[in-house]
């Protein structure tokens, strides 16, 4: 559950009019799906709820395949409403869905029983679902949301082959107030690891070799921790190499915060998932864990190389960078602190996160002939963080 003291406060005055003491206009958003404590799309929705509730948006959540009881309690405390799914529940509603395949499966029935006023769809992946293609062909998706320029560049050309693409300036938001920054000095052991769902595409085939080639000074031991390691990951990576000290957990076996509070460096090399805006990166930033990631996909948009983390072009380079951090604790500490500052300044800015949603809600209120939401090819569909000058000059 989200502690109340970690939630964003309401604005001190009306965000719409200078002479009002509190917001006098409410927006309403229905969500097909439900937040959770695990998974990129569901945790992104969880943090988004904090943001939208700060600006007095009425949020109606419709679980499509179940909901965690603790999360139910959390969203109710934040002022959300929960509804059971029915085929006509989204009739004339503005509804958003974050990578919820059950929503795509139900969308033909939803439209048949009462078309939503507007459907906002976030894929979260870097490839299209077949049902997503079908929905776009039928014109059932009104607005697409993209989390990175990389994702936008991958998906928009495919979508445009089907039909025009309309999007809005969505900015990823992370509520950093939830997590206290506590940098941990090493206790005689350099702890490295990674966290993902149990998906073969999330794990590289040479993962154990990469970890094996990480060197540490004689004064330190080395141990590997992996959360989310199940049958699919094991099939991709094979067994651990002899001599490695390691510990693995199946998905959800421990809270993610416990994992981050255990390791020093996160080494995130994938097996073809083509990372979009991975929440694990933001979570590592928040907890004081230094990320070593691939110099590819959306990572160059989200990592200031050498300042908030490190990017490698091969497994060997990633092993070297992880070893370098073991040999240079001062560098490790500096980068961890920079990363937290970057997260706070660039990815936890409530006003910047709200701007795109406010534009979308205001646009939805206008008559159709006054609509200002543009096709993706002519609009700034993604607002990405710029590197803070303070951080950039430290390198």
What does 85-126 look like in DSSP terms, one character per residue? Answer: --TTTTTT-EEEEES-HHHHHHHHHHHHT---SEEEEE--SS
Check whether 14 has a pLDDT greater than 50.
Answer: no
Cα distances from 211 to residues 25, 37, 241, 243, 382, in angstroms, run 54, 27, 9, 11, 35
pLDDT value for 392: 33
pLDDT category at 13 given cuts 50, 70, 90 is very low
Concatenate the DSSP letters of all residues of 181-197 into one string.
Answer: -------SEEEEEEE--
Give me 369's structure tokens.
């002939």
Residues 352, 198 contacting (CB under 8 angstroms): no
Residues 395, 339 contacting (CB under 8 angstroms): no
What's 373's DSSP letter? P
pLDDT category at 40 given cuts 50, 70, 90 is confident
pLDDT value for 7: 52
Check whether 377 has a pLDDT greater than 50.
Answer: no
Q: Domains in the chain, please, with CATH?
A: 4-173+349-378 (3.40.50.2000), 180-346 (3.40.50.2000)
Signed CA dihedral, 276, 71, 336, 212: sign only: negative
pLDDT value for 38: 79
Residue 389 three-state SS? helix
Q: What mean pLDDT value characterizes the chain?
A: 89
Rounded distance, CA 108 to CA 111, Å? 5
pLDDT value for 364: 80
Check whether 6 has a pLDDT greater than 90.
Answer: no
Helices in 201-271 by DSSP H: which ranges?
207-212, 231-237, 256-260
Residue in the structure block whose two tokens are 């928009």? 156
Neighbours of 222 (CB within 10 A): 19
pLDDT category at 66 given cuts 50, 70, 90 is confident
Residue 33 three-state SS? strand
In the predicted model, what is the mean pLDDT of residues 150-177? Answer: 96
Rounded distance, CA 57 to CA 80, Å? 9
pLDDT value for 379: 36
Residues 376, 165 contacting (CB under 8 angstroms): yes
DSSP H or E segment with residue 361: helix 350-365
pLDDT value for 26: 84
Residues 166, 196 contacting (CB under 8 angstroms): no
Indicate the length of the chain as a whole number. Answer: 395
Q: How far out from the chain centre does Cα 40 lie? A: 5
pLDDT value for 239: 96
pLDDT category at 363 given cuts 50, 70, 90 is confident
Q: Is 344 exposed, middle or buried (0-12, 13-18, 19+ CB in 10 A)?
A: middle
Closest by CA to 309, choosing from 285, 330, 326, is 285
In the predicted model, what is the mean pLDDT of residues 21-34? Answer: 80
pLDDT value for 371: 55
């Amino acid at each position: 559950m989200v502690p109340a003291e970690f939630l964003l406060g309401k604005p001190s005055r009306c965000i719409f009019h200078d002479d009002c003491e509190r917001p006098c206009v409410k927006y309403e958003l229905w969500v097909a799906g439900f937040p959770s404590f695990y998974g990129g799309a569901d945790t992104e929705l969880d943090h988004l709820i904090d943001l939208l509730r700060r600006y007095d948006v009425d949020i109606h959540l419709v679980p499509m395949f179940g909901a965690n009881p603790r999360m139910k309690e959390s969203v109710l405390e934040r002022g959300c409403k929960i509804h059971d799914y029915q085929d006509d529940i989204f009739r004339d509603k503005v509804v958003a869905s974050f990578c919820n395949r059950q929503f795509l499966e139900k969308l033909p029935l939803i439209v048949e029983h009462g078309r939503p006023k507007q459907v906002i769809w976030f894929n979260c992946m870097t490839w299209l679902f077949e049902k997503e293609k079908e929905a776009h062909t039928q014109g059932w998706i009104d607005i697409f949301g993209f989390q990175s320029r990389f994702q936008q560049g991958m998906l928009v050309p495919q979508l445009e082959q089907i039909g025009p693409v309309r999007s809005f300036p969505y900015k990823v938001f992370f509520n950093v107030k939830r997590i206290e920054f506590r940098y941990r000095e090493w206790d005689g052991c350099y702890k490295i690891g990674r966290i993902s769902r149990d998906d073969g595409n999330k794990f590289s085939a040479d993962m154990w070799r990469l970890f094996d080639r990480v060197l540490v000074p004689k004064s330190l031991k080395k141990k590997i921790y992996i959360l989310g390691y199940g049958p699919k990951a094991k099939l991709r990576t094979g067994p651990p190499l002899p001599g490695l000290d390691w510990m693995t957990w199946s998905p959800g076996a421990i809270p993610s915060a416990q994992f981050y509070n255990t390791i020093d460096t996160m080494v995130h090399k994938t097996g073809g998932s083509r990372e979009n805006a991975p929440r694990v990166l933001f979570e590592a930033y928040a907890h004081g864990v230094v990320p070593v990631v691939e110099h590819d996909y959306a990572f160059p948009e989200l990592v200031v190389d050498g300042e908030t983390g490190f990017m490698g072009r091969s497994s060997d380079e990633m092993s070297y960078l992880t070893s370098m951090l073991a040999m240079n604790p001062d560098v490790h500490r500096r980068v961890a602190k920079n990363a937290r500052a970057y997260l706070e300044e660039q990815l936890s800015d409530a006003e910047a996160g709200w701007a795109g949603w406010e534009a979308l809600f205001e646009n939805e209120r206008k008559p159709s002939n006054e609509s200002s939401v543009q096709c993706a090819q002519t609009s700034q569909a993604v607002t990405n963080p710029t590197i803070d000058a303070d951080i950039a000059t430290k390198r």
